[in-house]
Amino acid sequence: MPLFRKKSQSQAERLASWRSESLQRGGADDGLAALLEELGAGVSVHNEGTVVEVAGGHLFVGTIDDGTTLSGWSPFEGTYDAAELATLLRRNLDPVLVWTSRSDVGGEEELGARFAVPLDGFERGAVLLALETMAGSLGDEGLAGRARDAREPPRGEAEEQHANARAAEAINVALEAVGLHAETDAERPGIWSVSTDRGAVEAILRDTGESLMLMHELQYSRGEDDLETLRWLLGASDWSSARLGLAPLPGGPGLFSACAVPAHALEPQALAWGIGEVLQLADDYDRLAAG
């Protein structure tokens, strides 16, 4: 018997390994620069990444995870009032790619909007959706509109229903490919309850078929009034490509680890990334909250 037993991988780590082995084309290429030029965005390039002018401010964009995730961050003005922070945490469960986090890099505390999308090569549609959502959230309707028009022509109700059906089928295919079991409910179409080692991860397809929201409930009893707790939750939303968010539940505020994934052309690797990010943040939260 070996003196030291090899530590078994968590499910989050297994999903990350599966995704890494399944990627076909490596990380992003230089398609981002060409796309930003197509959108007419003001851009400057630095060693750390690309800076995009958005709504009079700056959006910092770069790749992480060995080039397989595109991440964006834009600081914004905000007051550290408990009611405001609780509102931001509730919005973190909106089924969109952008969320709010708190950064203190360099010792300076800032609130900001973040996005992260998985890449297998350069995923034009996913990047456009992220830029559209980020620009819209920051109030740059011009850039948001140009990104939306470049992503797809205007759709009617029939086209949206067709896109939703395609996305639902892609989710079923991805779940099978990744080896995850999920239950569905005929009374709640567009929702999957995915079985994981930690319990259920709810997968909720946006009715436009654009994005899939992944959510896992955590143990939480601190409410919405303690300023330091809310600051910590927003800080934890800056650790990775997942976020923490609050939701009103019958017994009081519930806390969720969550991640949104572009669903217009969902690949199994993207689903593995999203669920893995949700589980990893949940594991980190449990470890730190217990300490």
**Contact call for residues 50 and 36 (beta carbons, < 8 A):** yes
Q: What is the largest CA-CA distance in the chain?
A: 65
Report how far residue 239's alpha carbon sits from residue 193's, in angstroms, rounded to the nearest whole number: 25
Distance CA 138, CA 98 (A): 10
Quote the percentage of the chain above a pLDDT of 90: 70
As beta bridge partners, residue 209 has: none
Above 60 in pLDDT, residue 26?
no
Residue of 261, 255, 248 lying closest to 285 (CA atoms): 255
Q: Which pLDDT belongs to residue 30?
A: 63
- Token pair 């939750």 is at which residue? 233
Q: What is the pLDDT of residues 190-208, one digit of tens each?
A: 999 999 999 999 999 998 8
**Most trustworthy range by pLDDT among 43-52, 77-86, 149-158, 268-277:** 268-277
Question: Does residue 182 surpass a pLDDT of 90?
Answer: yes
Q: What is the pLDDT of residues 47-83, one digit of tens each?
A: 778 999 998 899 999 988 888 999 999 998 877 899 9
Tens of pLDDT along 99-143? 999 998 767 789 999 999 998 878 899 999 999 999 999 999 999
Report how far residue 194's alpha carbon sits from residue 103's, in angstroms, rounded to the nearest whole number: 31
How far is 13 from 6, CA to CA, in rounded Å? 14
Three-state DSSP at 286 gives helix
Single-letter amino acid, residue 212: L
Say whether pLDDT at 9 is over 70.
yes
What does pLDDT average to over the chain?
90
pLDDT on residue 1: 43
The two beta strands, 182-184 and 191-196, are: antiparallel
Are the C-beta atoms of residues 65 and 26 closer than 8 Å to each other? no
Residue 291 confidence (pLDDT):
65
Q: How many residues does the chain have?
A: 291
Query: Tell me, what's the pLDDT at 25?
Result: 60
Phi, then psi, of 76 in degrees rounded to 5: -140, 160
Q: Which residues pair with 68 in a beta bridge?
A: none
Q: φ, ψ for residue 182 (rounded to 5)?
A: -140, 145
Contact 151, 128 (CB under 8 A): yes
- Most confident region among 65-79, 160-174, 229-243 by mean pLDDT: 229-243
CA distance 249 to 289: 21
Query: Alpha-carbon distance 117 to 131, whole Å?
Result: 10
Is the CB of residue 184 less than 8 Å from the CB of residue 194?
no
pTM as predicted: 0.93
Residue 23 has pLDDT above 80, yes or no: yes
* Distance (Å, whole) CA 22 – CA 10: 18
